[in-house]
């Protein structure tokens, strides 16, 4: 237990050191000067002063790492709790920081500004609907927020109404610096070692979800698709610039306020993104459920990206990213989009809005 405890705390300390956490930001500014970070990337960065918020809380699911940092008060302290099936070890000093190491993973939380609670993380088992070779189950048409995200390109115009649900990001997993991420195995054959490193029960829901994420990353893409799972911000930037060049613009969906209810939204306007020469090229990166930030990125030649302004029935304004796929002929015929829209592969362009923690990269104008 003592050796395991020391191992976890050593790993955790790496995630909390500001110099390590700043590495992805430094790489970004060097590789992509004068390129603003979209909200989805900012929220996936480690804490230690990397965002403008007075408090930061980053969660990594039940099987991973949860880090919260509070700024603005001089008083502080640390509580270390190592739990398991039969109790644990506690180390306390005055203040509000709590470090918990239980059978589900590692957690570090500190009360936020004015008592703001840390963000909780929830993950849903099942394949991602944003994978082209994914086959949906019939029961996934019910009570699934992703169902509402798909629509036909002909409906992308001012005045069009859609029933949508923009919910708060459930997956708060944060980026590790590339050096740290590269030191951790990421393959199906190493899964026992990976789960043991994060203290995740292989038979638990978290364990199954992590296995599925790695398997999806290892599967070959469909014809015409170039795919890559980025385990760090640096590797995401490298993959994207290798496909689109260094003059790129990353975009993510942003809402005026969080709304957990399905409601009618009206499109106020839609602007096609990307330059005139490469407006059918983009790299879309979907955040996966994992112990730290992993993004499933893929590039195709037949996509168009839009920034869409919407307003909800309750007045909520949303700037949403929409991606339209002009050629779906290679998609799985049982993909969720076809079930929702009642169309067949390759018949019509299929569009979808991106959840708030996903990113589309397009060539700059």
What pLDDT digit, counting tens, does each position of 158-202 carry?
999 999 988 766 678 899 999 999 999 999 999 999 999 999 999
What's residue 121's pLDDT?
A: 28
Q: Quick count: other Cβ atoms within 10 Å of Cβ 190?
A: 13
What's residue 297's pLDDT?
A: 96
CA distance 87 to 105: 15
CA distance 61 to 292: 9
Q: Say what the pTM is.
A: 0.74
**Cβ–Cβ under 8 Å, residues 299 and 191:** no
DSSP β-ladder status, 303-312 and 317-325: antiparallel
CA distance 151 to 310: 15
Element (DSSP H or E) covering residue 359: strand 359-363
Beta bridge partners of 55: 70
What's residue 261's pLDDT?
A: 78
Backbone angles phi, psi at 195, to 5 degrees: -65, -35
Domain residue spans of the chain: 145-363
DSSP β-ladder status, 105-109 and 65-70: parallel
Name the percent of the chain lying above pLDDT 70: 66
List the chain residues with pLDDT less than 50.
Answer: 1-19, 48-123
The tokens of 43 are what?
A: 């929220």
Q: What is the pLDDT of residues 264-303, one digit of tens each?
A: 999 999 999 986 565 578 999 999 999 999 999 999 778 9
Q: What is the pLDDT of residues 58-73, one digit of tens each?
A: 333 333 333 333 333 3
CA distance 66 to 108: 5
What's residue 200's pLDDT?
A: 92
């Amino acid at each position: 237990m003592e050796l395991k405890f020391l191992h976890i705390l050593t790993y955790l300390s790496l995630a909390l050191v500001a110099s390590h956490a700043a590495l992805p930001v430094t790489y970004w500014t060097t590789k992509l000067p004068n390129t603003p970070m979209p909200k989805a990337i900012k929220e996936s960065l480690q804490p230690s002063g990397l965002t403008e918020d007075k408090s930061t809380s980053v969660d990594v699911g039940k099987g991973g790492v949860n880090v919260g940092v509070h700024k603005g008060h001089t008083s502080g302290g640390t509580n270390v709790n190592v739990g398991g099936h039969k109790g644990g070890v506690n180390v306390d000093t005055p203040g509000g920081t709590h470090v918990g190491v239980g059978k589900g993973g590692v957690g570090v939380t500190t009360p936020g500004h004015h008592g703001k609670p840390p963000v909780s993380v929830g993950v849903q088992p099942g394949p991602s609907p944003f994978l082209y070779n994914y086959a949906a189950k019939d029961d996934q048409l019910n009570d699934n927020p992703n169902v509402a995200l798909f629509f036909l390109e002909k409906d992308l115009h001012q005045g069009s109404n859609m029933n949508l649900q923009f919910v708060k990001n459930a997956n708060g997993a944060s980026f590790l610096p590339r050096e740290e991420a590269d030191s951790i195995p990421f393959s199906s054959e190493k899964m026992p070692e990976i789960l043991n490193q994060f203290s995740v029960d292989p038979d638990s829901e978290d364990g199954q979800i992590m296995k599925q994420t790695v398997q999806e990353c290892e599967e070959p893409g469909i014809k015409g698709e170039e795919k890559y799972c980025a385990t760090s911000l640096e590797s995401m930037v490298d993959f994207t610039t290798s496909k689109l060049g260094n003059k790129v613009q990353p975009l993510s969906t942003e809402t005026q306020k969080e709304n957990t209810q399905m409601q009618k939204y009206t499109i106020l306007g839609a602007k096609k993104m990307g330059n005139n020469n490469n407006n059918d090229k983009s790299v879309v990166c979907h955040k996966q459920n994992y112990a730290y930030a992993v993004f499933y990125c893929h590039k195709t030649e037949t996509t168009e990206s839009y920034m869409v302004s919407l307003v909800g029935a309750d007045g909520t304004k949303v700037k949403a990213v929409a991606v339209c796929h002009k050629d779906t002929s290679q998609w799985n015929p049982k993909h969720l989009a076809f079930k929702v829209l009642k169309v067949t592969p390759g018949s019509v362009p299929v569009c979808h809005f991106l959840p708030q923690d996903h990113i589309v990269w397009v060539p700059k104008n």
